[in-house]
């Protein structure tokens, strides 16, 4: 009878370990998918910044020198692209340091650091970049004496850019960062048990 209970107890322990391993792998997979989404979005953002610079150079070459505000808008856009391209590479590098086969505390540290970077980027975008580009765009159109269709185009582009920015920070970054941190906390708790 004791042997039967001991065998049953061993099977239950093995089952419990197996369940913990399955849960651990599920958490790693869930966090890995979210990290992949963030990395893909940052790679896309860096690619767009890199590919849009030739357009700005062409626009400056074609239309530059006629309106001072147009020149300021194009130059500030190129400066924005030049500054943010290495920033995106730095964020991607930080995400690449996360490795679930290594220490979970280091992974949590890297993810929290990435979260702080995103919050800083969000504040810079919301409170400096978007208002400055909006004001420069309005002043440019004012000095050009733009027609009504061009004003409508500017308003639509600004609304689209603002909406995309809010969506990406709220739905993409915040949601995935929260998922990753929650999964990492659960992984840490499972490993500590």
50-92 pLDDT tens trace = 999 998 889 888 877 777 878 888 888 899 899 889 999 999 9
CA distance 77 to 133: 8
Among candidate residues 112, 104, 53, the one with its CA nearest the CA of residue 78: 53
Each domain of the chain, given as residue ranges in start order, spans 2-192
pLDDT the model gives residue 144: 82
Three-class DSSP category at 79? helix
The mean per-residue pLDDT over the stretch 117-140 comes to 89
Lowest average pLDDT, out of 18-22, 79-83, 125-129, goes to 18-22
CA distance 65 to 50: 24
Q: Is the pTM of this model over 0.95?
A: no
pLDDT the model gives residue 73: 82
Statement: residue 18 has pLDDT above 70? no
């Amino acid at each position: 009878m004791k042997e039967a209970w001991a065998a049953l107890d061993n099977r239950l322990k093995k089952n419990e370990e197996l369940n913990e391993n399955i849960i651990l792998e599920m958490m790693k997979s869930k966090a890995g998918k979210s990290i992949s989404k963030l990395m893909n979005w940052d790679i896309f953002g860096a690619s767009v910044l890199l590919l849009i610079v030739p357009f700005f150079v062409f626009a400056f070459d074609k239309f530059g020198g006629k309106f001072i505000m147009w020149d300021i808008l194009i130059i500030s856009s190129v400066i924005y692209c030049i500054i943010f391209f290495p920033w995106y590479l730095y964020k991607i590098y930080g995400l690449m340091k996360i490795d679930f086969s290594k220490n979970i505390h280091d992974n949590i540290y890297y993810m929290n650091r990435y979260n702080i970077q995103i919050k800083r980027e969000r504040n810079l975008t919301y409170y400096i970049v978007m208002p400055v580009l909006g004001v420069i765009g309005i002043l440019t159109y004012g000095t050009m004496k733009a027609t009504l269709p061009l004003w409508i185009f500017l308003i639509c582009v600004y609304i689209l850019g603002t909406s995309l920015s809010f969506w990406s920070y709220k739905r993409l970054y915040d949601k995935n960062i929260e998922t990753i941190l929650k999964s990492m906390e659960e992984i840490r708790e499972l490993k500590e048990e």
